[in-house]
Chain A
Amino acid sequence: MVVRQYNEELQYLEKISPTCWKIKKGFQPNMNVEGVFYVNERLEKLMFDELRNACRPGMVGGFLPGVKQIANVAALPGIVGRSVGLPDVHSGYGFAIGNMAAFDMNDPKSVVSPGGVGFDINCGVRLLRTNLYEKDVLPVKEQLSQSLFDHIPVGVGSKGIIPMNAKDMEEALEMGMDWSLREGYVWAEDKEHCEEYGRMLNADPTKVSMRAKKRGLPQLGTLGAGNHYAEIQVVDEIYDKWAASKMGIEQTGQVCVMIHSGSRGFGHQVATDALVAMEKAMKRDNIETNDRQLACARINSVEGQDYLKGMAAAANFAWVNRSSMTFLTRQAFAKQFKTTPDDLDMHVIYDVSHNIAKVEEHIVDGKQKTLLVHRKGSTRAFPPHHPLIPVDYQLTGQPVLIGGTMGTCSYVLTGTEQGMRETFGSTCHGAGRALSRAKSRRNLDYKDVLDALEKMGISIRVASPKLVMEEAPESYKNVTDVVNTCHAAGISKKAIKLRPIAVIKG
């Protein structure tokens, strides 16, 4: 990392619009393109504090600031356009979290980087609607939360309850949600409302190590820990009545369920294996990066292709995982209300992937190009009429699901043309951390956090209560600031606001 005084660092940053800053070349070595990040005034302060902190003399250990990471990504071979930081950007490993970057598939030097996808491959958010209203759920809220907690395995070391053997696992990795459909866990129309229809066709389970499969098998159908959760939410505000009605949301008070989870240990191992393999490939192909965690390989190399096939298998794992939890959620609701999931109209509104790399067509400098788009902590947000979005959303634009933090609201946005042009059809993914986990632990007490949730009328069931301060709203950026910045910058548009009434987490 280039070490300069904070004031010197600022010379490389320039505000180009009320919600957008440019990172000039030279901020980090070998930048091929410029960087850019979207912030409002409050988020801007957090970004610059992070940078100032890292410039303190004698700073060792700890995280690289997000701005530096965006610039490191801009130095990767084959990157086109700009390295983009979304409003929830914060320090990650290699790529910042809330960072997207696109690489030209037709440039032989272009790379794929597992760090640009993250360890939790195809971590994402799914939103189910119901035809229930808040008044129907409030009297049985505690029972329903407990039932969901009993149905969905959560927390570190928990094991899935969907019966699976090694052969089922191979099929699930290859087929994604088609496997869930064949086994009767999901409805045919659920697939329609997922990115890629819940199945990446280039998945190849033979490119995945035994270790990954061994880690994955017991964990299929588990929520996980950390920031993953299942929430019962109610519609709090509708900004775009027409778009909301296309999603089956009629009025405020309607009850939805949000599931935030990923590919569990399977994806983590696929990423770990790829990073190790790519380190060797980098030496062979003389690829240099500014950060060891940014290990990458040429897209057309054996390592690059193997990673993309393994990543696709992990993406399928994640869809099957969220589908299994969709099944368990539907069961819990049906039992509580003594009816069927069909009669409760528990359709999937949409399912987004916010840690993934995909091959997409975009216009760069007036020309159509095939790009490998990495989104790490960033959600695809395609505009109306895009061929890859479901027919139900052709006129509204793709629904974008933004999960808030425990106890704060979540949002549904829609994709825009401007986002397509400026950020390769990408937007934010959540609140984004403001305090490190260690700082949250020092500054907050878990009992206060639980009490505060109770006062807000939110039921909580959590496997590790002593860690809730790490996920407390105070530890995160304000999701409303993040979403408003995306809306103001025009890279996506607000449709619905949801507020939680019950949280289930690891």
Chain B
Amino acid sequence: MFGYITELEYVEIKESHEIEAEGTDMLSLLYHFLDEFLYLFCADPYFIPKKVQITEFDRANYKIKAKGMGETFTIGKHPQGADVKAITYSNMQVHEHEGKCEVFVIIDI
């Protein structure tokens, strides 16, 4: 998603921000996880993460905590890409196989 908003090779790791998300099932958890990061970009601190580290993941209660590492979006330094409006549930899918997980999310741009 952030690779679509800008080009990540221009983003340096200067600061980090943490998010917490909760859901009622795996899909809503994925939705809120992405939405929290999108919001960090859309308003103050206008934060673009280059790396994301999941710090806590409670599968039973659908709770997640994560840390994004990156910097503030600056026109001139970071190329302007797509404007992501929202995360959507449209045809959202999570496929878990042993040791590997595939997710499909459509974002509105």
In whole angstroms, how far apart are the Cα atoms of A291 and B106 in the complex?
14
Within 8 A of B (CB), among A194-252: 211, 214-215, 218, 224-226
The interface residues of chain A, by DSSP majority, are classed as loop
Asked whether B104 lies within 8 Å of A61 as measured between CB atoms, the reply is yes
| Residues in chain A near residue B46, CB distance under 8 A | 157
Asked whether B81 lies within 8 Å of A156 as measured between CB atoms, the reply is yes
Within 8 A of B (CB), among A252-275: 265, 268-269, 271-272, 275
A94 in the interface (beta carbon within 8 A): yes
Given contacts A215-B42, A215-B43, A292-B27, contact A225 B80 (CB under 8 A): yes
Contact with B along A437-480 (1 / 0, CB 8 A): 10000000000000000000000000110110000000000000
Within 8 A of A (CB), among B48-85: 73, 75, 78-85
| Residues in chain A near residue B104, CB distance under 8 A | 60-62
Q: Which residue of A lies closest to B95 (CB)?
A: A60
CB contact between A60 and one of B44, B83, B93 (< 8 Å): that residue:
B93
| Residues in chain A near residue B82, CB distance under 8 A | 156, 225-226, 464, 467
Asked whether A279 lies within 8 Å of B79 as measured between CB atoms, the reply is no
Asked whether A268 lies within 8 Å of B85 as measured between CB atoms, the reply is yes
A50 to chain B, nearest CB (A): 14
B19 to chain A, nearest CB (A): 13
Q: Which residue of B lies closest to A158 (CB)?
A: B75
| Residues in chain B near residue A63, CB distance under 8 A | 90-91, 106
B29 in the interface (beta carbon within 8 A): no
Q: Which residue of A lies closest to B92 (CB)?
A: A292
In whole angstroms, how far apart are the Cα atoms of A292 and B25 in the complex?
13
| Residues in chain B near residue A275, CB distance under 8 A | 89
Within 8 A of A (CB), among B79-109: 79-93, 95, 104, 106, 108-109
Asked whether B86 lies within 8 Å of A268 as measured between CB atoms, the reply is yes
A483 in the interface (beta carbon within 8 A): no
A506 in the interface (beta carbon within 8 A): yes
Asked whether B109 lies within 8 Å of A226 as measured between CB atoms, the reply is yes
A341 in the interface (beta carbon within 8 A): no
Q: Which residue of A lies closest to B78 (CB)?
A: A157
Extra 18 A-B pairs, beta carbons < 8 Å, given A64-B90, A156-B81, A156-B82: A64-B91, A93-B89, A156-B80, A157-B80, A158-B75, A158-B80, A214-B44, A215-B39, A224-B83, A226-B82, A226-B83, A226-B109, A265-B42, A268-B42, A271-B86, A272-B86, A275-B89, A464-B80
- List 14 interface pairs A-B (beta carbons < 8 Å), by A numbering: A63-B90, A64-B91, A93-B106, A94-B90, A119-B85, A120-B85, A155-B83, A156-B84, A157-B46, A215-B39, A268-B108, A279-B28, A292-B90, A463-B80
Measured CB to CB, the residues of A under 8 A from B are 60-64, 92-94, 119-120, 155-158, 211, 214-215, 218, 224-226, 265, 268-269, 271-272, 275, 279, 291-293, 295, 437, 463-464, 466-467, 506
